[in-house]
Amino acid sequence: MIQQDIRKLVEYGLKTGLVEKEDEIYTVNRLLELFELDEIEDKGADISMEVDELEEVLGRMMDYAVEKGIMKEDGVVYRDLFDTKIMSVLLPRPSEVIREFKKLYEKSPEKATEWYYKFSQDTDYIRRYRIKKDQRWKADTQYGDLDITINLSKPEKDPKAIAAAKNAKQGGYPKCQLCIENEGYAGRINHPARQNHRVIPIEINGSKWGFQYSPYVYYNEHCIVFNSEHIPMKIDHAAFCKLFDFVKLFPHYFVGSNADLPIVGGSILSHDHFQGGHYEFAMARAEVEKPFTVKGFEDVEAGIVKWPMSVIRLACEDSVRVIALADVILEKWRGYTDEAAFVYAYTDGEPHNTITPIARKRNGKYELDLVLRNNITTEEHPLGVYHPHAKLHHIKKENIGLIEVMGLAVLPARLKGEMDKLSDAILAGEDIRKDEVLEKHADWVDEFLPKYAPDKRGTKEEMMAILHKEIGDVFMQVLEDAGVYKRTEEGKEAFWRFIETL
């Protein structure tokens, strides 16, 4: 089969445009070398290859590599390293990819990103066959339709690979998974291979940055924009300028930044980066419920957004004016304390206030959503006062970063099996508290189940629909917990006290 699969993979390259006709023989020979073969057989016979066969073909190729000792170890981590090496044979050099992107960009930014997004999938950098395993649904709430996803596209590491990674030398190259040095990197047991990865260089605010897609694609054209230097995240005037420079380069994309403090920030605070894409989140659809005007900025529309977290939206045809007002709000918020609302700028010299900013262009105006964040902790809430509270941890315990802030829940893979098992247990009338896996969901089930008549939850399908709705409600509560100012009258008054200081 290896002979056939080599030819099938080359056919895949030709079909997707990764391989030009003139490069066909060269590509075959590269693959022969990789699999330690001397010649290709039946090179004249017709062969077909569909795009959705890629996982199967790569799987067989790796089975062969394990059998022949070409792959020294087996397991998902080792296979991810080796199948990336296989795919790298089909890829053009970075300069060729950049040339094609620039050529298409001259026609339109949208054409360029459409091509690059498809390219990033065709190369298997974005693994289509894993992404489609993710569970996704919409949850109808008072704040609009929230997006819920159970992330199944990150494979579970096997115990052998975990042990090997623990014992492996901690390399300093690349410094992190966002560094430009990842492009073309072969990877190692504790760092993913990126030989099938290509980065588009861009310039924002006079500095060199890279533009790429996330391999996990939580939403359409989920991109990452990263500093070419390994420097920490920082929300400041320059960050606002960079966000709008990116929006000017790609007006069909939104772009946002995680906050720059632990707990309320993203998973990688050590490398300055943004996330964006071609998608409209529930927060972007949410309306301004209380407009206001800041003296000296009468030309900038400003208002509080109807959203579970505390969001100020600014809009103006001139991005410079939006940035100028954002600077004022950021500076004021960094130093703002309101003990009555349990908002403290500092405790023991440690800063707590920051902002999660999201930029877009809509209806000819530049918009900037400023989400007020605070990372203070207490004995009652050791993971954060403005963080999902303990009663919700059975569904979501992780930090609320940029993606969740905008209305998309990225939930752990364990929930797929747990919800399947939970629905069966409820239907069978079992005592959930006696199941060590499901016990953590028992209080939640006791709370929501009485809302549904027995004849409306008699089938597996009905029960799963209920669980999906209730998970959506939990995520709404997660966002309310993460909001500095609550949606109560008292919370709204406290939010307005801050606005009046501007």
Residue 336 clears pLDDT 60, i.e. is over it: yes
Backbone angles phi, psi at 378, to 5 degrees: -140, 175
What's the predicted TM-score (pTM) here?
0.94
Q: Which pLDDT band, with edges at 50, 70 and 90, does 154 fall under?
A: confident
With a cut of 90, say whether residue 157 has pLDDT above it.
Answer: no
Amino acid at 1: M
- Residue entry with tokens 């694609």: 217
Looking at residues 474-494, what average pLDDT do you find?
98
The first and second tokens of residue 98, run together, are 């950049």
> What average pLDDT score do residues 146-167 get?
74
State the Cα–Cα distance between residues 30 and 51, nearest whole angstrom: 21
What number is the average pLDDT over the span 453-467?
Answer: 94
Structure tokens at 477: 């509560």
Residues 6+ apart with CB under 8 A from 221: 113, 117, 213, 253, 277, 278, 279
The residue behind tokens 């390259």 is: 13
Q: Given pLDDT bands bounded at 50, 70 and 90, which one contains residue 425? A: very high
pLDDT of the residue at 268: 83
Instruction: Specify whether the CB–CB gap between 472 and 146 falls below 8 A.
Output: yes
End-to-end CA distance of the chain: 70
Report pLDDT for 42. Answer: 72
Q: Summarize the confidence of residues 127-153 as an average pLDDT.
A: 95
223-240: pLDDT as tens digits: 999 999 999 999 999 999
Phi, psi of 171 (to 5 degrees): -75, 155
Rg (CA), the chain: 25
Range in 145-149, 151-155, 209-213 the model is least confident about: 151-155
pLDDT value for 41: 85
The pLDDT of 103-122, averaged and rounded, is 98
- The Cα–Cα gap between 387 and 377 comes to 9
pLDDT of residue 305: 98
Distance CA 47, CA 35 (A): 20
Cβ atoms 426, 420 nearer than 8 A: no
- Cα dihedral 344/304/494/491 (nearest 10): -100
pLDDT for res 43: 64
Neighbours of 480 (CB within 10 A): 18
Q: Could you give phi then psi for residue 305, rounded to 5 degrees?
A: -90, 140
Q: Report d(CA 23, CA 217) in Å as an integer.
A: 30
Higher pLDDT, 276 or 190: 276
Cβ–Cβ < 8 Å for 158, 77: yes
Element at 98 (helix H, strand E): helix 94-107
Please give, one letter per residue, the 3-state secondary structure of 297-340. CCCCEEEEECCCCCEEEEEECCHHHHHHHHHHHHHHHHCCCEHH
Predicted confidence (pLDDT) per residue in 271-301, tens digit? 999 999 999 999 999 999 999 999 999 999 9
